[in-house]
Homo-oligomer: A and B are copies of this chain.
Amino acid sequence: MTITLLGVIAGILTSCSFIPQAYKVIKTKRTHDISIPMYCLCTLGVFFWIIYGLMIKDIAVLLTNIVTFVPTVIILILTLKFRVHKNS
């Protein structure tokens, strides 16, 4: 397996890994066990990776992190939303 292919597979796995969690949150509307600080840090970090990818004009960094950004933002927003709903 070429080294580049390994990097591409690693990127696809880590980027797509948040999709099942986003799906689970949307389906179950249960976020009690999910860490809000985690998704604040993760969303902010991935956002910085997107800016970084733009600045160094690296399409791989840019695309990987845009794919990651979408589900992480969904998870963060829904986790906050369902947590507020539950407490009100």
Contact = CB atoms under 8 A, between A and B. Distances in A.
A33 B35 contact: no
Contact of A21 (B9, B30, B32, B35): B35
A42 B25 contact: no
Contact of A42 (B11, B13, B35): B13
Given A24-B35, A33-B25, A33-B28, A6 B51 contact: yes
Give the size range of A's interface with the partner.
Answer: 35 or more
Contacts of A14: 41-42, 45-46, 49
A55 interface: yes
B24 A33 contact: yes
Interface of A: 3, 6-7, 9-21, 23-25, 28, 30-35, 37-39, 41-42, 44-46, 48-49, 51-52, 55-56
